[in-house]
Amino acid sequence: MLFKITEYEGLNYSKVSKDKNKIHTDKLAGYNSIFGKKICHGTFVVSKIFKNKEFRKIISSKKEFNIYINFLDFIEYDKNLLIKKAKNKFHVIQNKKKKINITVRKKNNFLINRIYKKKDSYFKIKLKDLKNRYDLIFTLLANISSYVGNRYPGKYSIISSININFNCEYLESQKNLIISSYKLSNRLPLIRNILSYQNFNIEFETLERPFVKKNKFFIKESLKKKIKDFKNNILIIGGSSGIGNDIFNMFKINKKILKIVTFNKNKINLKDQNSLFYKVDVFKNLEIIEDIVKKHGPVKIFYFPATKISFDRRVNDEQLREYKKIFINIPLKIIEANKNQIISLFYPSTTNINEDSKSDYSKVKRLAEISLKKLCTKNKIIYKSIRFPALNSKQSISLLNPTQQSFFEYINKNPKLFNKIF
């Protein structure tokens, strides 16, 4: 089975399921998430898969069954999904990577004691009677999506697994759909949930999805003095979020120089007489950078455009091309276009080079270090770079590392690095 889910279908499913979580429908919300883009509803992907003839037969005719769905990675819109079968297992593949594993069994572990005694959330709704088992399972999945996206955990949520149990011999007498949930620990983002309705018992696990928290500005007085003594204007390319935005906030204490900040999708809403803001897509508008440097030089350039970083050893061809463009080709073009102006460059690199030198990401960043240093040396341009660890930014946070130190925390702990940056 080969299929894809379009953005239009995703928008329509949001309306049908009443799942209002913007991670599925809003471009900016997706861009600022840990995924770096909008993602498909997991329950909608499963509903699409269930249209497969083999699944329809199981759901419609079997007296008892269990379907376990394990979400391994997010699903993108408008890209082919391939389903491969191996005995009773189905693997859903996108971009040559396994995204979902589905296991089908004839027997199940239907739970008579269906509701968690300890509850962090409890939901009850009356459903209209649906005789068709297939239509019913679609409705139950849609209610799960709505519950997770809107109610608990809500905005910052993701479904990690769904375990569907059906037994025609057990019929719940009450006509209400009931969901109860409990969080395993305050230290862990994992939530266990049980849905009970008629012959269905569905266990599903959800996660509290990490998000970037605003970094509190605090640096030592000795470092503040160095910032105030800085004499050249600065240009922060990609300064609306992450480390770029942190550096801008640090430089705001220097009232003698001009701070020029570029943004792309996240607009900067700030009125400051010593700051200028430009919308720049580095893939399309590099001439704006050239005009800024000519007009406001001498300029120290901080280069912080980024894409969503995968720490998998290998990434797909599309992502690798994007890495090379944004981390190597574009900064080289900027230096080449402005080599006759009075400029200096700060380029952020990564400690991942030390930790996993053979990963695609590390190889690209290492090549960027070499190429930029070579071009800057050739043109007598001051070049500085630091290999940063993963810091609190949308490029770096993940389910495995939901809380990371901020740039301010890092620089206060490592004041010797300050001169390299400033």
Across the range 285-314, mean pLDDT stands at 90
Least confident of 77-86, 209-218, 275-284, 341-350: 209-218
In CATH terms, are 2-208 and 221-421 the same topology?
A: no
State yes or no: pLDDT of 272 exceeds 90: no
Q: How far is CA 212 from the centre of its chain?
A: 10
Q: What is the pLDDT of residues 6-15, one digit of tens each?
A: 999 999 999 9
8 Å CB contact between 166 and 134 = no
Handedness of CA 86, 90, 93, 97 (dihedral sign): negative
360 neighbors 309 (Cβ within 8 angstroms): no
Alpha helices in 167-326 (DSSP H): 221-228, 242-251, 286-296, 317-324
Tell me how far apart the alpha carbons of residues 168 and 355 are, in angstroms, rounded to a whole number: 53
The single residue listed with the structure tokens 């007598």 is: 380
Alpha carbon distance 411, 202 (integer Å): 48
As a CATH number, domain 2-208 is 3.10.129
Backbone angles phi, psi at 215, to 5 degrees: -75, 135
According to the model, what pLDDT value does residue 172 have?
63
Domain ranges, ordered by start, for the chain: 2-208, 221-421
Using the predicted structure, report yes or no on whether residue 414 has a pLDDT greater than 90: no
Domain 221-421 grouped into CATH 3.30.1490.20: no
Q: Which helix (H) or strand (E) holds 236?
A: strand 233-237
pLDDT of residue 119: 82
Mean pLDDT value of segment 321-343: 96
Task: For residues 91 and 74, give the distance between their C-alpha atoms in angstroms, rounded to a whole number.
Answer: 14
Residue 297's identity, in one-letter code, is G
The answer to whether residues 329 and 321 touch, using CB atoms and an 8 Å cutoff, is no
The answer, yes or no, to whether residue 16 has pLDDT greater than 60, is yes
Which is nearest to 183 in space by CA: 174, 175, 192?
192
Q: How does DSSP classify residue 129?
A: P
DSSP 186-212: TTS-EEEEEEEETTEEEEEEEEE---P
